[in-house]
């Protein structure tokens, strides 16, 4: 198997991991918080806190 063939498999594998991570996190988040909280953002609100991951 050539280096590029291994890279192809690696790319598929990494894509699957990243995609599944996002899906898993999305489902976990949706289950942990109420829909009212998740969709509570309102246009034009200002929040200057730097807490939370970013």
Partner 1 sequence: MTTSTQVPSERISLLRVLGPGHVWGLGVGIVLVGEYMGWNFSVGKGGMMAALIACWVAGLLYTCVAMIDSEVTSTVAAAGGQYAQAKHIVGPLMAFNVGLFLVFAYTMLEAANAWTLGYLVQTVSGMMGVTGPDGAALTVWDKPFVVLTIMFLAWLNYRGVHTSLTFNMVIAAIAFVAVIVLFLAVQPWSNDVLKHSEMMASKDGLLPYGWLGVVASLHFGLWYYLGIEGTTQAAEEVRSPARSLPLGTMTGMITLLLAATMTWFICAGLMPWEYLGTAATPMFDAARLTGSTPLMVLLFIGTVFATLASANGCINDASRAWFSMGRDRYLPEWFGAVHPVYRTPYRSIVFLVPLAVIFACFVPLDQIITFSILSGLLGYTFMAINVMMFRSKWPLGSINRGYVHPMHPLPAIVLLLLCAVTYFAVFLGYGSQLLAMMLFYIVASLWFHFHRYKYVRRGNQFTMQWPRPHGH
Q: What is the contact surface with partner 1 in residues (CB under 8 A)?
A: 2-5, 7-9, 11-12, 14-15, 18-19, 21-23, 25-26, 29, 32-50, 52-54
Report the alpha-carbon distance of residue 39 to residue 41 in Å, rounded. 6
Query: Rounded to the nearest whole angstrom, what is the least distance from the CB of residue 5 to partner 1 in the complex?
Result: 8
At residue 2, φ and ψ (nearest 5 deg) are -80, 170
Query: Rounded to the nearest whole angstrom, what is the least distance from the CB of residue 31 to partner 1 in the complex?
Result: 12
- Among 24, 3, 23, CA closest to 11: 3
Query: Rounded to the nearest whole angstrom, what is the least distance from the CB of residue 9 to partner 1 in the complex?
Result: 8
């Amino acid at each position: 198997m050539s280096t590029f063939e291994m890279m192809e498999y690696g790319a598929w594998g990494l894509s699957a991991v990243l995609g599944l991570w996002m899906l898993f996190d999305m489902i976990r988040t949706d289950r942990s918080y109420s829909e009212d909280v998740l969709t509570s953002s309102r246009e034009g609100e200002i929040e200057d806190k730097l807490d939370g991951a970013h």
